[in-house]
Chains A and B, each alone.
Chain A
Amino acid sequence: MPTPAVLATRGLVAGYEADQPIVHGLDFSVAAGELVVILGPNGAGKSTFVKAIAGLVPVHAGTTLLGGVDVTHLPADEKIRHGLAFVPQTENVFATLSIRDNLRLAADILPKTARHPRIEELYAMFPDLADRDSRRAGALSGGQRQMLAIARALIVRPLVLILDEPSAGLSPKIVAEVFAQLKTINRTGVAIVLVEQNIKAALAVADRAVILVEGRLRHEGTAEGLADDPRVAELYLGVRPAANPPAATP
């Protein structure tokens, strides 16, 4: 019996203008404890799709179900209360506030007695942040900022964590650390949806991958199978296949 989806979209149409949608009727789902990566060429609508799920881009048709509840048109500040956490690609921390204040802001939606213990739990998970507790987030390195953004998103114990290109602008060593941390979080049962351009690193940690092209779902499969499929790389990701590719099927 398949695992029920914790997050699902049905026929989602989204975009900044109603008459010019960027996402065209997408069906997508992720199960609890699953890590799904969304791939696709530039302009495929990957970021728009996850922003629409998070409540940052208008949805013109279709539904988003979170834990079976229709959250399609809820504002972002309500979706986080339902367990949907989103980490944007850029400007994902409050640069003028300290690390602790960034975490306290997110913790403010928890019951009062749960706030401090939860922040301490996150500090235990991200010891680098604990060591710099009072430092302004704007003074952190790119990798530390990304860790802070992820820690802040985890404060509410989300059902689903969505990250928009968390590896952007980071060195390969830091990317490896960020992805290892995501895998650790994923093993605790949090469903993760990852939008990525760093195909190799993303497929290495993902269970499943979907490929979007021009706002439509074009391919879906296990991360392992997709990583080994040169036709997919050539057709949808713009990667030239290695020598002696298999013959294309008509």
Chain B
Amino acid sequence: MNPQALMDGLVSGSMIGLGAVGITLTYSILRFANFAHGDFISWGAYFALAVAGTLGAAFSGLTTPIGPFSFGWALPLAALVAVALNGGLALLVDALLFGRLRKHHSTVIIMVMASFGAALTLRSLLEFIFSARPAYYSKALQIALPLGGGIRATPDQLLSLAVAVVLVVAVHLLLTRTAIGRAMRAVSENMALAGLVGIRVRRVIRVVWLLGAGLAAIAGVTAGLLVQIRPQMGLDLLLPLFAAAILGGIGSVPGAMLAGLIIGLSEAIAVQLVGAQWRAGVSFVILVAVLLARPQGLFGRAE
């Protein structure tokens, strides 16, 4: 096996992990599998594309690549704006759709079906606005740096990996060390009791949407930076995202990240061993195996 598969797996796994953290947060607190999460990833990528393009057109200096990276300051700035815009989009979808269904005490299956509808709408809107043609943040070529042991990585790949790790640690600290994190864990465990102790549940739900959509935006930007930007990019990531969220244990942020890396590595190894056409099947096999053998995942608690 080519050792480069390890680096490829870690890089794609970090993107999967970042998206899976958003899935696991919304799943554990809002109590439904949000199939629109992949499309929040796509929207995040396109928000950043639009903002970076606008910034680049207004201030050409912002497109000059920073150090060894393939992009200029326009992209990191655009990524921050994309986080905010994606959060706003998630709140809008919640206000128009999920919030109304919650108010009517809709069942989980209704929420899941609604998320399918939201996913289709969001994806179609992206195709309508940006077309289905692939787009890129940068077309600059990067030379992969040798890291030893026959492994190479581009500066963009190393940055993506570092950003994912930093964000996951930050979210984990937010959940375990802050008042809003405690409130999120409480709502996740028992929403009615959370209200009785004075937690403003609606505020917590808004924070969860903002956090999940913000992480989705960053996952979209890193995916767009390393591969390409397409309206379907989120859909393609959906199965690995859910496999990682379930493998990590619903509600566990470190679990989602670790599981994302495991799935990324498994996919990369499968590509080496059995061929690229089986890549998508890896997540499916892992998902089914976890559901059969350890449904609570690596870090979840058995019900």
Contacts of B193 on A, CB cut-off 8 Å?
Answer: 88, 91-94
9 contacts between A and B (CB under 8 A): A81-B198, A91-B190, A95-B189, A96-B185, A97-B186, A105-B197, A106-B197, A106-B198, A108-B183
The smallest beta-carbon distance between A169 and chain B, in angstroms, is 17
Convert A66-105 into 0s and 1s, putting 1 for each residue whose CB lies closer than 8 angstroms to a CB of B. Answer: 0000000001110011000110100111111100010011
Q: Is B183 in contact with A77, judged by CB distance below 8 angstroms?
A: no
Is B192 at the interface (CB under 8 A from chain A)? yes
User: How many Å lie between the Cα of A88 and that of B179 in the bound state?
Assistant: 23
Contacts of B195 on A, CB cut-off 8 Å?
Answer: 55, 75-77
A76-B192, A96-B301, A108-B179 as given contacts; A152 in contact with B186, CB under 8 Å: no
Is B199 at the interface (CB under 8 A from chain A)? yes
Q: Is B301 in contact with A108, judged by CB distance below 8 angstroms?
A: no
Q: Which of A86, A101, A152 lies in contact with B182, CB distance below 8 A?
A: A101
Q: Is B199 in contact with A77, judged by CB distance below 8 angstroms?
A: yes
Please give 4 more A-B residue pairs, beta carbons under 8 A apart, in addition to A86-B196, A97-B182: A75-B195, A88-B196, A94-B185, A104-B179
Contacts of B196 on A, CB cut-off 8 Å?
Answer: 54, 56, 76-77, 80, 85-86, 88
User: How many Å lie between the Cα of A152 and that of B185 in the bound state?
Assistant: 17
Category for how many chain B residues contact A: 10 to 19
Is B290 at the interface (CB under 8 A from chain A)? no
Q: Is A77 in contact with B200, judged by CB distance below 8 angstroms?
A: yes
Contacts of A94 on B, CB cut-off 8 Å?
Answer: 185-186, 189-190, 193
Contacts of A156 on B, CB cut-off 8 Å?
Answer: 198
Contacts of B185 on A, CB cut-off 8 Å?
Answer: 94, 96-97
Residue of B nearest to A138 (CB): B301
Is A239 at the interface (CB under 8 A from chain B)? no
A96-B185, A97-B182, A97-B185 as given contacts; A108 in contact with B190, CB under 8 Å: no
Contacts of A97 on B, CB cut-off 8 Å?
Answer: 182, 185-186, 189
Q: Which of B189, B198, B201 lies in contact with A108, CB distance below 8 A?
A: B198
A77-B201, A104-B182, A106-B197 as given contacts; A96 in contact with B192, CB under 8 Å: no
User: How many Å lie between the Cα of A108 and that of B197 in the bound state?
Assistant: 9
Q: Is A152 in contact with B198, judged by CB distance below 8 angstroms?
A: no
Q: Is B198 in contact with A77, judged by CB distance below 8 angstroms?
A: yes
Is A109 at the interface (CB under 8 A from chain B)? yes
* A-B interface pairs (CB < 8 A), number: 60
Convert B216-237 into 0s and 1s, putting 1 for each residue whose CB lies closer than 8 angstroms to a CB of A. Answer: 0000000000000000000000
Residue of A nearest to B192 (CB): A56
Q: Is B192 in contact with A105, judged by CB distance below 8 angstroms?
A: no
Convert A33-74 into 0s and 1s, putting 1 for each residue whose CB lies closer than 8 angstroms to a CB of B. Answer: 000000000000000000000111000000000000000000
Contacts of A91 on B, CB cut-off 8 Å?
Answer: 190, 193
Residue of B nearest to A96 (CB): B189
Contacts of A95 on B, CB cut-off 8 Å?
Answer: 189
Convert B275-303 into 0s and 1s, putting 1 for each residue whose CB lies closer than 8 angstroms to a CB of A. Answer: 00000000000000000000000000100
User: How many Å lie between the Cα of A102 and that of B185 in the bound state?
Assistant: 11
Which of chain B's residues 158-207 have a Cβ closer than 8 Å to chain A?
Answer: 179, 182-183, 185-186, 189-190, 192-201
Residue of B nearest to A152 (CB): B197
User: How many Å lie between the Cα of A55 and that of B194 in the bound state?
Assistant: 13
Shortest beta-carbon contacts, A-B, top 3: A76-B195, A109-B198, A80-B198
Contacts of A106 on B, CB cut-off 8 Å?
Answer: 197-198
Residue of A nearest to B251 (CB): A96
Q: Which of A55, A80, A96 lies in contact with B197, CB distance below 8 A?
A: A80
Q: Which of B189, B194, B197 has the most CB of A within 10 A?
A: B197
Convert B240-258 into 0s and 1s, putting 1 for each residue whose CB lies closer than 8 angstroms to a CB of A. Answer: 0000000000000000000
User: How many Å lie between the Cα of A109 and that of B192 in the bound state?
Assistant: 17
Q: Which of B186, B200, B201 lies in contact with A105, CB distance below 8 A?
A: B186
Contacts of B301 on A, CB cut-off 8 Å?
Answer: 96
User: How many Å lie between the Cα of A104 and that of B185 in the bound state?
Assistant: 13
